[in-house]
Amino acid sequence: MLNSRPIARRVLLTGAAGAALSGAAVAGSLSGVLPGRRHLREALGIGQAGEGVPDAGGAEPQFETFDSAARGTQVTFGWVTPPNQKPDGLPVILVLHGRGDDAHSVFDSLGMHQFLAAHVEAGGKPAGVVSVDGGEAYWHPRANDDDPLSMLSDELLPRVAELGFNTANLGVMGYSMGGFGALLLARESSHQRFVPIKAAAASSPALFAQASATSAGSFDDAADFQRWGALSDKPDVKNIPLSVSCGVDDPFSTETERYREACDPTPAGSIGNGAHNHGYWRAQVPAQLRFLTDRLS
């Protein structure tokens, strides 16, 4: 009697090889159909984009904590300058973190101090980078009196100015929830509300099509979403340059594309390879630093 195991093994190996060879075609044809599209593409190594933190000799970030009346809790903020520079007169890039992150994450996970050092070493215009704890309130006033926007304008920026930074020369950058926050801040600023900014850059902004699609706790109710969260169809940003990017394997890519299409002019940035992770967000930092610093006087 013939042993069927070697034959079966050859069939399995042949099938696996064929799947590997045709993986790109399979993922391409089913990418809009399969619920597990992102996981399939990830497994096949298709469309992934990531960036490590450069070893650029960045200065050590500094941190302070204050009692925030606007947020009703203690808040930590951090800042850094390019190596061997003081804050005196430097413009500011405010980086808003994603959900689950905090002021430290902007440096620990995103590596902003190292990217800033590499940016300046390559001839980019200098600026200071500032981060702050925003909690999980989606960077807007909440019914429980947690108000990150007022914290930014009334409490954080005066402290940053006291350090010597030029807070009248301000750009904002954010990723995920912080990307949403950057676009929200751009809208509010363009209508002379909260913080006056000169440019905004967002990576994988956490944009939702409607209140029922939002993640738990992101908004108080449908009215709260309508006031603060409905950005995709009507960005309503006037005279503030925008850079908006998202990975195709990111769950927010569709809404980000809608946002980009609704803007006039179309923002810088793109919908390209990448997923919803720090690797993708780090990959966007060099271009976003150039974009922002070029627009700060």
CATH topology assigned to domain 62-293: Rossmann fold (3.40.50)
Average pLDDT of the segment spanning 157-164: 98
CB contact at 8 A, 201 and 182: yes
pLDDT (0 to 100) of residue 233: 87
For the sheet with 199-203, list strands across it.
Answer: 62-68, 73-80, 128-132, 92-96, 170-175, 199-203, 242-247, 271-272
Residues in the chain: 297
pLDDT (0 to 100) of residue 7: 34
pLDDT (0 to 100) of residue 11: 34
pLDDT in tens, 45-87: 555 566 799 999 999 999 999 999 999 999 999 999 999 999 9
Average pLDDT of the segment spanning 174-179: 98
pLDDT in tens, 231-251: 998 999 999 999 999 999 999
Say if residue 31's pLDDT is above 50: no
Average pLDDT of the segment spanning 131-154: 97
The pair phi, psi for residue 171, each rounded to 5°, is -120, 160
Average pLDDT of the segment spanning 27-47: 46
Say if residue 280's pLDDT is above 90: yes
pLDDT (0 to 100) of residue 297: 76
Cα–Cα dist 98/151, whole Å = 17
Domain residue spans of the chain: 5-44, 62-293
pLDDT band at residue 42 under the 50/70/90 scheme: low
Say if residue 25's pLDDT is above 70: no
Average pLDDT of the segment spanning 135-156: 97
